[in-house]
Structure 1
Amino acid sequence: MHALPTLRRRMRLLIALLLALALPVIGLTTTQTAAAATQKACDIYASGGTPCVAAYSTTRALFASYGGPLYQIKRASDGGTVNVGLRSAGGVVNSAPQVSFCAGTTCTITQLYDQTANANHMPISPGTSCAGCSGGLNGPGPNGADIGANAMALPVTIGGQPAYGVLVNDIGTGYRNNAARNVPTGAQPEGMYMMTSSQLTSGSCCFDFGSAETNDSDDGNATMNAIYYGSACWVGGCTGPGPWVGGDLENGMYFSDNGRNPTNIQSETGMFVSAWEKNNGTTNFTLKYGNGQSGGLTTSYAGALPNGYNPMKVQPSIELGTGGDNSTLGKGEFFEGAVTAGFPSDATESAVQADLVAAGYANNTTTFHRSTSVVSFRAHANGKYVDAPNNTTSLIADATTVGPAETFDMFTDTDGTIGLRAHSDNNWVTAESNGSAPLIANRGGPGPWETFYLLHNPDGSVTLRAYNNQHLVTAENAGASALIANRTAVGPWEEFDLITH
């Protein structure tokens, strides 16, 4: 009579035991599913067999397990520094300490931390200040170094939380690691992406992210492999206004093997733009772009490398903001990016794009303005107007009236620097020979030598400072000699009345 209830009790105990044993398996499966769902960009690359070897972001973790700092800032008031980190491991940035730290002063981003185990951190680029780097272009910092980005200048949100990007607007803003560890070199395959924006771009060289030369110099074709984002059509003949995602492979920003963009893609724009480049080192490089807030990727080019770029000769240096030779006129915005070992699959890149969209970038509302005006300059040295007679005669303050030779188009860029194009010959004014020779209007387009700062003096006059050598333009010999950028202090010879027409 008691055998059946006993059997039932035993059966109940057995079922309960089986359920107890089964619960951890169900929990593990749930945990694994959740972990897979929270994989970040570099976890996805690793799963695809092309791991990140350098990864940077000012907005979030690029590994689900990363809990370290994102970047370092320095404030101008006392030189103090602080690392900006995450709200939690694998999460988004905690920018509140930055806001408090920078209150009432200016802060600069001085270092971007690599989230991989390689510790390929990127400090401000040395420019020409490093040993063996004299073949590159000067930055505006000490001894030709570059400068850091304003830490508070590019506010956005990510996942609904406040964050700040890297704003490459001021000339010479750049970061670089010239001794990167475990990165692809030579003709080894390499991939990369970055999150940027078309809110700020330029048609000059070069807003880059990726591999560059270790000596901040142009070492020839194929010695760098970086994403370029902008509208500089290096070879001419591009279709549309741009900007486009390209590959800066040195001595050219390439939107295809012939350099030009596809005729059916006249621009690649968005509040947030994901930019992609991969290069197998010998036979193929591929370019893609996407909306950083929605959708998938578009392949703009996939095919042969340009002539003269097979094989690649990449060096172990990672850079952001400038060209391989430290060309400093590129402009852009950076929020995150990574370099990978190997040639990532399309499926991997699509999965990373989905992760970018899921991150929830929004509210990139910072605006930038460029302007053009028609001006003349009257020298305080002798009361005469600056004259640019032709493309073989230097500028000199010797005119008593204003005509075409004394009239210039003044282009004011987003960072406040200016360029001058003479009405006499439609050429740009240059501080010739890196400023060691007189100013002359003989250039077909702007570059570092054609870039000037416009300084406003207390008496209402202005002074021009050449970007290339950071010296002031003077009406030499009280105006009797040509204008030249060779002064370090403002006096009457360096003062001009700016007359707007």
Structure 2
Amino acid sequence: MHRMWLRRVRRALVGAGAVVALAAGVLTGTAATSQAATQQPCDIYAAGGTPCVAAHSTVRALFGSYSGSLYQVRRSSDNTTKNIGVVTAGGRADAAAQDSFCANTTCVITTVFDQSGHGNDVMYQGPGGAGGSDTPSKATSESLTVDGGKVYSLYINPGNSYWRDGHLTGIPTGSAPQGAYMVTSGTHVNGGCCFDYGNSETDRRADGAGAMDAIYFGTSCWFGGCSGSGPWVQADLEYGLYSGGSQSWNSNQRAFTSKYVTAMLKNNGTSRFALKGANAQSGGLTTLWDGSLPPGYSPMKQQGAIILGSGGDCCNGNTNLSQGTFYEGAIVAGYPSDATDNAVQANITAAGYGGSSGGTGGTSGPLHAVGAGKCLDVPNSSTTLGTQTQIYDCNGQANQNWTHTSSNQLTVTLGGTQLCLDAYGKGTTNGTKVDTYSCNGQTNQQWQLNSDGTVTGVQSGLCLDVTGASTANGALAELWTCNGQSNQQWTLG
């Protein structure tokens, strides 16, 4: 596991002033909210004297002038690959190019390209990729909108991960200071080791305390004392996931359960590190830790490989068990200032994660059960009318892909058959099972997606509920009086 370092801020007053001015401009709205804005996260980091040495995203450019490829997809029909670029310089990904290339077949994401110019492209850790036994992520598991347009995420399930040895191409090594951030999801998580992004071992082995310096996001709390049930932003420093500066309670730690989450880590390499988190759609950063490194981690011993989606000693069957979602992230040389951190967060919230794509008549994707970290699922992809829905580990398959239509239906298409989420027998009492049935336009098949995270039946006014607040695979969905509990919290997409 990795860990993060904080370094003394060594920055000229001019540079510090520039980033403060930039932060003020973003926060007051003087910077454009379009993805074609002149300043993107890596421009902000550069202005603060901490340039990006690796910049990865499947959803948008991280430099205002970037017009190259974001990622590569490979289709199963003929094993041909295609690089997916941006709609315009500094803009969002060209999802239409992927859709055209992958039509009538399936695609996986083989490479996420480095936008920084250092050549730190990450490839999947498996045969034909960066080596190892893992597999690439499915390219169409999750679509979303950024800046009002459709894009795709890097949707990691157990056994998917990406890697590169970057120790000769700019990634900090030894006790050199480093910063990193990523935008991830608070609804597609688990406790498996370890959903990381950052600095890792070049030999893909657990080489001791301080050999890693990566952001971890998930529901694993190694040493106890994490507040709530997660997921949490922590530091994977190898030999431990740290929520603070020791193996004990950190009173500032808190869970981030929003659909889109900003996670940050910075480490000066010798004495201190900081962890920050936020809702990536609105608001500012919360400082979770800003203090000393844990005992035994000073100085840091970073090796300079890049890990995305697994722990450092990957592919040994123990550290590639995680699931998580990666939208964007960067690794920077140096210790970013708080003003830089704040300006990056402002840029992220201005990117419009999850906004309406317009003209589609609905929103599609997995319906995440927030309290369980799982997805609403049609058992065995059954097309039998009246099949009661359940929650199950998110897998990106069609039996978990729901569309909320303009007429408030929640539809799923299985084997060419479109079915609607349905209150069985038009029931309006607690315990009414929620099943799939032929779409008929009745009010027992109409669902309101509310701003508080609940999904309510238009006919009954009751909430979509996971029976008994269970978090187990196969727990059934039903209607129940709305009570504000986590087993009635859902996010679509």
Q: CA–CA distance in 2 between the matches of 1:34 and 1:199?
A: 30
1:271: how far off? 1.0
- Tell me whether 1:172 sits opposite 2:159 in the alignment: yes
Mapped partners of 1:261, 1:299: distance in 2:
15
Q: Distance in 1 between matches of 2:97 and 2:344?
A: 29
Aligned equivalents of 1:237 and 1:296: distance in 2?
24
Cα deviation, residue 259, structure 1? 3.8
Q: Compute the displacement of 1:196 (Å).
A: 0.4
Distance 1:242 1:261 in 2: 14
SS in 1 for 2:97: helix
Q: Is the 8 A contact 2:110 2:129 kept in 1?
A: no
Q: Identify if the C-alpha distance between structure 1 residues 325 and 199 changes in structure 2 by more than 3 Å, giving closer, same or farther.
A: same
Equivalence for 1:291: 279
1:415-430 alignment to 2 at 5 Å? Answer: 415=395
Which residues in structure 2 correspond to 1:310-321 (within 5 Å)? 310-321=298-309
Q: Which residue of 1 aligns with 2:269?
A: 281
AA aligned to 1:222 is G
1:233–1:260: 8 Å Cα contact kept in structure 2?
Answer: no
Moved over 2 A (4+): 33-38, 126-130, 236-239, 259-266, 363-371, 411-416
Residue identity opposite 1:341 in structure 2: A
Q: List alignment gaps of at least 5 residues for structure 1.
A: 1-32, 131-142, 372-410, 417-501
Query: Residue 325 of structure 2: which of 300, 310, 333 is its match?
Result: 333
What residue number does 1:139 align with? none
Cα distance in 2 between the residues matched to 1:309 and 1:278: 14
In structure 2, C-alpha distance between the alignment counterparts of 1:264 and 1:176, rounded to whole Å? 31
Q: 1:235 to 1:89 in 2, by over 3 A?
A: same
Structure 1 residues 144 and 42: CA distance shift in structure 2, 3 A: closer
CA distance in 1, matches of 2:126, 2:76: 20
CA distance 1:89–1:103, change in 2 (3 Å): same
Structure 1 counterpart of 2:155, one-letter code: L
Q: Is the 8 A contact 2:252 2:287 kept in 1?
A: no
Contact between 1:241 and 1:266, CA under 8 Å: does it hold in 2? no
Give 2:279's aligned amino acid: N
Identify the match of residue 355 of structure 1 among 347, 353, 365. 347
Amino acid at match of 1:182: G
Partner SS state of residue 361, structure 1: coil
Aligned twin of 1:414: 394
Question: Counterpart in 1 of 2:399?
Answer: none
One-letter identity of the residue aligned with 1:93 = A
**Matches for 1:45-444 after TM superposition, within 5 Å:** 45-126=45-126, 144-169=132-157, 171-180=158-167, 181-260=169-248, 262-263=250-251, 265-326=253-314, 327-362=319-354, 365-368=365-368, 370=374, 413-415=393-395
Structure 2 counterpart of 1:85, one-letter code: G
Range with bigger deviation, 238-247 or 295-304: 238-247
Match for 2:114: what amino acid? Answer: D
Aligned length: 335
RMSD, matched Cα: 2.7
Shift of 1:113: 0.2
The runs of 5 or more residues in structure 2 that have no matched partner are: 1-29, 356-363, 376-390, 397-493
CA apart distance, 1:235:
1.5
Q: Compared with structure 1, are the counterparts of its residues 118 and 81 closer, same or farther at alpha carbon in structure 2 (3 Å cutoff)?
A: same
Partner residue, 2:489: none
CA distance in 2, matches of 1:247, 1:237: 15
C-alpha distance 265-183 of structure 1, shift in aligned 2 (>3 A)? closer
Aligned mates of 1:362, 1:232 — CA distance in 2: 26
The secondary structure found in structure 2 opposite 1:362 is coil
Sequence identity percentage: 48
Higher relative contact order (CA 8 A, sep 6+): 2
Are the structure 2 counterparts of residues 328 and 296 from structure 1 closer, same or farther at C-alpha, using a change threshold of 3 Å?
Answer: same
Work out the CA distance in 2 between the residues paired with 1:365 and 1:80. 26
Q: Compute the TM-score of the two structures, normalised by the length of structure 2.
A: 0.64
Task: Name which one, 1 or 2, has greater alpha-carbon Rg.
Answer: 1
Q: For the Cα contact (< 8 Å) 1:127–1:216, is it kept in 2?
A: no
Counterparts of 2:155 and 2:248 in 1: how far apart (Å)? Answer: 27
Question: Secondary structure of 1:343's match?
Answer: coil
String of CA shifts for 1:6-32, please: whole Å, max 9, x gaps. xxxxxxxxxxxxxxxxxxxxxxxxxxx
